[in-house]
Amino acid sequence: MPTIAQDVLDFWFAEANATRWFVADDTFDVQIRERFGAVAQAAAEGRLDDWAHTPPGWLALLILLDQFPRNLYRNDPRAWAVDAGARRVALSGLARGDDRQLPAV
C-alpha cells in the first residue's frame, strides 16, 4: 500500500478528526484540501485505482472518493461528482470481503 494511502487512513481515523466527519468545519476542510486535494483529484481521475488491490488501500481510496469530496467541495455539486466511482469501489471491495479484513473502528 502506498504511503499516502496510509496517510489518508491515519488522518481520517485520528481520534481528533472522527468528531469532525459530519460537521461543517472550515478548518477541517482546509486541512483536507491542503494535504489531500491533489490526491483526491488523482483518485477522481482513476489514477489511484490500483490502491483497491489491498483492503487498507481500498478503504483509503474509498475515503478519497466518498468522504473527502464533501469537504473539498462543500455546498457545491462537485461534492457528489465522483459518487458513481465511489460506489463502484465500495461494491467491488465488499464483494471481495475487504471490509471484513480491516480492524473495526
For 53-96, how does the pLDDT look when each residue is reduced to its tens digit (9 = 90+)? 999 999 999 999 999 999 999 999 999 999 999 999 999 999 99
Question: Is the pLDDT assigned to residue 2 strictly greater than 80?
Answer: no
CATH code given to domain 3-18+25-101: 1.20.58
Distance CA 50, CA 61 (A): 9
Question: Is the pLDDT assigned to residue 40 strictly greater than 70?
Answer: yes
Distance CA 79, CA 81 (A): 6
- Which of 46, 96, 35, 41 is closest to 69 using CA atoms? 41
Distance CA 61, CA 27 (A): 22
Predicted confidence at residue 22, as pLDDT, reads 86
- Mean pLDDT value across residues 29-51: 97
Q: Name the average pLDDT for the chain.
A: 94
Q: For residue 60, give the C-alpha cell.
A: 483509503
- Mean pLDDT value across residues 13-42: 94
- Dump strand ranges (E) for the chain: none
Distance CA 72, CA 56 (A): 22
- Which of 39, 40, 31 is closest to 11 using CA atoms? 31
